[in-house]
Amino acid sequence: MLYPWLLELDLSPAKTIFWFPSDGGGALPTGCEHILKKMNCPIAMAKFGQEQCKKVHNLDVHHIPHAVDVKNYFPLKKNERDELRKKWNLNDKFVIGVVARNQGRKMLDRTIKMMALYAKINPNAILLMHCDANDPAQVFPISQLINRYGIQNRVLFTGTTYFKGFDYKKMNDVYNLMDVFLLTTSGEGFGVPIIEAMACEVPVIATDYTTTGELVLDNNSGVGIDLVGTEIEENPRIHGDEILNGTLTGSWAVERGICDIKDGAKKLDYLFKNLDKRKEFGLNGRKAVLEKYDWNVTKKAWFDVINKLGGDY
């Protein structure tokens, strides 16, 4: 969608489906609305993208969510989880998990800084990071930032590398090691790791921006982190020309949310101290995935769209 040469292609007589993410506020990336107008059937991955298209660009688009295979992502039995945590030497720790590549949009510096704050008040907290600590494309040397704040003994990497990932079983184990899933993102076009964590009954803490509202808050599967210097009522779920104190303008004129690390640390501590709430969020998350974000559910919507291509579109 970011490449204007798509506008020069003559796609007729084929009918076109364009399944797209939108991962920031303000508007679609510059010029992308023209790409969507060219398509027979533009489909947003998230309600956020669908509503943004309508509010900001006056475009009517469909919505079919991303999904996961719940046979790959599921909560382990208690004894299996206990054994897994024992293997990783985490059985008496409060494990804060992250699954994200160290790219600018993910704002992993916020994760490290938040952990540095929280480590001072919870001696049992461990940050489990599923990312490549030596990623050649990382936006900053993550190990250097960890060392800067003196939390080397509080951060554990899973061992994944950019060119050699984990299979589904290992990824399911990673999520089952977590007590909470944390994402300090500046915006998500959907947020697949969020629903992977939810499928494993892991409560979510994520920046309250873009898709967090529909995935986490609406499903009561976790909590949102406030934007810096922004009251909740000042942060509309879909914003165009509203001025938010907690955003910065990035590439393609897209607004990026900056989460408040102090608020995030408070919410980590809230979930640490409220086991019943963590369990409630976890159960709600799994239920939402089974009802909305399982491929066996979403494929029906895809069949409907494809069947209509010969008629309505």
Q: Which amino acid is at 306?
A: I
Give dist(CA 173, CA 85) in Å, integer.
9
pLDDT of 2: 67
pLDDT of 9: 83
pLDDT of 162: 82
pLDDT of 11: 80
Torsion sign across C-alpha atoms 25, 26, 29, 33: positive
Beta-bridge partner residues of 129: 98, 157
pLDDT of 312: 57
pLDDT of 174: 98
Burial class (CB in 10 A: 0-12, 13-18, 19+), 215: buried
CA dihedral 271, 282, 87, 172 (to 10 degrees): -140
Give dist(CA 111, CA 253) in Å, integer.
24
Give dist(CA 304, CA 46) in Å, integer.
18
**Do residues 286 and 198 touch, judged by C-beta distance below 8 A?**
yes
Instruction: Determine the topology of domain 78-292 in CATH.
Output: Rossmann fold (3.40.50)
pLDDT of 52: 97
pLDDT in tens, the chain (313 residues): 767 777 888 888 888 899 999 999 999 999 999 999 999 999 999 999 999 999 999 999 999 999 999 999 999 999 999 999 999 999 999 999 999 999 999 999 999 999 999 999 999 999 999 999 999 999 999 999 999 999 999 999 999 998 888 999 999 999 999 999 999 999 999 999 999 999 999 999 999 999 999 999 999 999 999 999 988 888 899 999 999 999 999 999 999 999 999 999 999 999 999 999 999 999 999 999 999 999 999 999 999 999 888 765 4
Output the pTM of the full model.
0.95
Find where tokens 């409907």 sit.
Answer: 304
Q: How far is CA 138 from the centre of its chain?
A: 18
Tell me where in the chain the CATH 3.40.50.2000 domain(s) lie: 78-292
pLDDT of 84: 98
Give dist(CA 92, CA 95) in Å, integer.
9
